[in-house]
Structure 1
């Protein structure tokens, strides 16, 4: 028998819907294959749970690669067009791709012919599926807004937070007194000056599970301590989605749901916790160690975790270590074995090189100017702003592409366009233009950000140097940190070796001659 492949797809919201499960789709596709005389080996059954709004799907990618190999199979059987894609352009693009490879596309639920009418039908169905997704999202958004105006929390907005149960009828949170006591304890401990890691470890030590039954983590503690819902303020509309990206909106655009969350802590207790979180963490009493110059500027070259400061023997040994070398607050082992490096020695080595920049501002300003001029070859700030505005306009215009494509189909059906390939080429070109505009926009935004940062440094560097140079050998910790921030210093630590760069550019390196390992001290 002739060989065929089967493709089945569900999205998250489809998985429990009757008639669209992967098993159901596979059974119907195999039945169709038998009816029209195809055999489907197990290795040619491609199943996945993924969105149909993009063709960048693992199993679909494997199917396309297999279809490109001549003779592997002669047909691809899919339940219906929206299982292949929810975008008319993508359906037609895949059809053309499979046709070039000599592979026929077969739908179980719809008749699809390699003819103008058949292609128009497939495109229209894909277009309708995409419009359905868009309409559903808009209706959901309107429904959420209406419920929130009534003081009710909409599903998907986050009703499930620790300390509350969920009142399904009234769509509101109800205090769980046992969990609320834990929440109040978290705020008390944070207000006393304990860090989130210590608080998580303490709660885990009591055997108290987090919301989903697992252990507490430092990030979870911080999320609790900074969530205004615990003082009775419930926000919505803090973010919105653009494709796969979540964009955080300005606080001025946030909205509140009155009465949706009863308070567990008072506004005063909430503020005390925020103030404590903002204070630098340090030892109390007599053990006051010097601050760490490079925290926030370095990351581990082994695992990518932040580099933080620490001390041993009552502050005698100050060092930097990878945050990944800490035992987890859950008691799990550390994720990194990077060695410790001496803080004083490393700070001195880095600062010595930063001083060279500050002592010769004219030289380094000229270097920065050359870098800026080279960057401006791709466009000045003004031209980049215009480019970004133009590209944003182009992308907004793509919102009307479906109507335009339907118009193309109409011309095709009346014979104004000669061949189906010509039409598909136009559709594919539109898609490529949109993808190119998206990439160009990202590039322009990055270039603009870099230029603005360089202009800021160019403007501020002379005045900063004039202020710090008279007493640079006795510069304060704050002055040193300000210099690192102004120069946009960032570096990594690998095998005790610091390797970083400033925006000018100026490479800064240091290697400690002695270090402390994670299991002992060597000198």
Structure 2
């Protein structure tokens, strides 16, 4: 398989050694797994808290072109520490046929691996939040002095030597022009056309758009008000560019001119996308919508083969099928015995696969090499070789040594703490406490636990990520499983209830865990 490497380090106490270590381990991993590396994507000094990284986006674009088959990364947090973005990016890669290989986190290609991966993603998000607390503390200290915090400087200002805002004589006239034109009654479109025709640009050097213009028109900094999030507000802390009378007149005009956004054609979110399959032909069912004579919009799932006249399965209402699936998923995660069983199996996978200490060893080796280089440089200086170059090199080695020591301490701490069965149980118990009316919670429940849902005319078969592999179960395997399945012991069955259905059975076979719902 053709593979690419994606490597990243943040600007926080990390350096080029981190990239070199990731690349070296990735090449070693590729060699042992019969992967051919055809390209390397590297983002230097880029945070993992969002995916707006040049090389990362280039990698996603190349994946969409089917340029490679596999992606090798150090850990889940190389993709990002924001769960929503991680899920979206992983979906995009999977959609384009790209398999992700983690070097330092041996995640099995099984349903237990899905749960383990979700736990690791949660721990990465927690680690990221702890890491960013120190940065936010420093930003709050700067904000208390009305200083720039890095991302809050608007067009029209520069940052002075003391990190305070000062008026930029080159761009401040653009701000005044915008306020003047809007106060005189010009529309946003007219102002944008005027600014771009004059070659005037935003702070990032881009042409003006509706969003950038609206942000500029609502920024209180232009009347001297310093604002940091919702925590700090200081009047007269910045030299003003716009007169208060003009600013407040514009605010009233904005409110008057703003139109309510139309929601009639808003796109519905289909929770069972790629998981709902037809019980007649086994093909995927996709979300569609239609408007009735009364103007009400209805949402359905329908079989993709129906359009080609190859299947006669009737569409099913989205609200009904999603509600039914969630009902049984919630019942599943509320069973203590079953959760303990899942946690134990997941933990055993973790113990078997995550005993690798190569990352810590590579950091230790890099530290030893840095200390050796420092010793050689000291020897040269003692021999009388001392100039600006040796001084700069010594400073560089000292910085590298501190970065490596910090990274090594963090790596050893993570090894010492490790992942415990209690962590997985805590993670699983959180599902039982979720508010199923919340859209994000519903998505997470289905993503983590549901493998596939087959809809027949007289029954619905739910398969859960429980054991076996994580590929979607086929219709043939479902029909075979219904014949050979074994009813689970009562201790591992959630409480039986009729609800709005005639009943159900919960049983397992070598492939998966089934819930058979009779309609």
Q: TM tier, shorter chain?
A: 0.3 to 0.5
Which entry has the higher C-alpha Rg, 1 or 2? 1
